[in-house]
A = this chain, B = another copy of it.
């Protein structure tokens, strides 16, 4: 069989219209499920659509209608488990709603780079979801033009989001409180804390939850250590902590940090959980298989992503009232890395 190099053009609504013996306007009504089309006509048009393999052009639709069935998620990171899972949740919900999803990564947090990322995203997207777990994300969320629909995936906020700009989060504060309380209940005198980068200048909800639990129990409140996102910075913090004989329990802002801390403790000859208990945040896929397996707070990132999309979809279509909401309840998963103090 010989095929010419010529690409057969995709059929347009006009092609469908002439093949079905109607005006292209009627075809438009059919593909938009407009009520006022005679059933027989509708059926005939649908048959032709099927035969010709017609697919409505998303770009023409976007240009003509001004709406774009595309959302893009802006994030500072795509490989970290939490961020990647949020993206996955967004994609899942978007797929169900027949939306396309784009990704933009926020490389640097200078104003220019953020502005550029925002513009690129705004060019193609009808709406934005920005993951604001870190300073770059927060800056981006704040810099979004007021005309473009956006929802933020944020840390537990301490104030209401602006009405036109919903947020989505899981209750970090309570989760950190619970994890700290668990350690205290085991008999530890206090709990040290290695923080992930705070998204804002003020203290994060996790930090506050940890501190509150300590205060409520009348335990001393040690100074929190500031970590980054990866295990390397957990390792550095762990080295510091390992040198302090007072340290018997460490709460970490995420599992990567906890992993680094455990490694440092091991290198310093302090056993986990024999001498020191360690708790993480996230429940990354690897955490259950570490030795000792990691006690951690399971966060439903995927559910968060789905919620973010649903919210955005709501503001995009104006069908649903938009309300800020906290999705999914975190759950403390107790494994081998926590025990009573020696």
Contacts and interface: CB of A to CB of B under 8 A. Distances in A.
Nearest to A82: B79
Given A231-B288, A285-B231, A100 B124 contact: yes
Interface in A59-87: 59-60, 62-63, 68, 70, 72, 78-79, 81, 84-85, 87
B59 A88 contact: no
Nearest to A234: B289
Interface string A102-143: 111101000000000001110110000000000000000000
Interface in A200-225: none
A72 B94 CA distance: 15
Interface stretch (A39-47, A190-198, A256-264, A316-324): A256-264
Interface string A87-103: 11001100100101111
Nearest to A68: B59
Interface of A: 7-8, 55, 57-60, 62-63, 68, 70, 72, 78-79, 81, 84-85, 87-88, 91-92, 95, 98, 100-105, 107, 119-121, 123-124, 147, 230-232, 234-235, 256, 259-260, 262-263, 266, 284-286, 288-291, 293
30 contacts: A8-B147, A55-B119, A57-B123, A58-B123, A59-B59, A59-B62, A59-B68, A59-B124, A72-B100, A78-B88, A79-B81, A79-B85, A79-B285, A91-B105, A92-B105, A95-B104, A95-B107, A95-B120, A100-B102, A101-B102, A101-B104, A103-B103, A231-B289, A232-B289, A234-B289, A235-B289, A256-B286, A259-B289, A263-B293, A291-B291
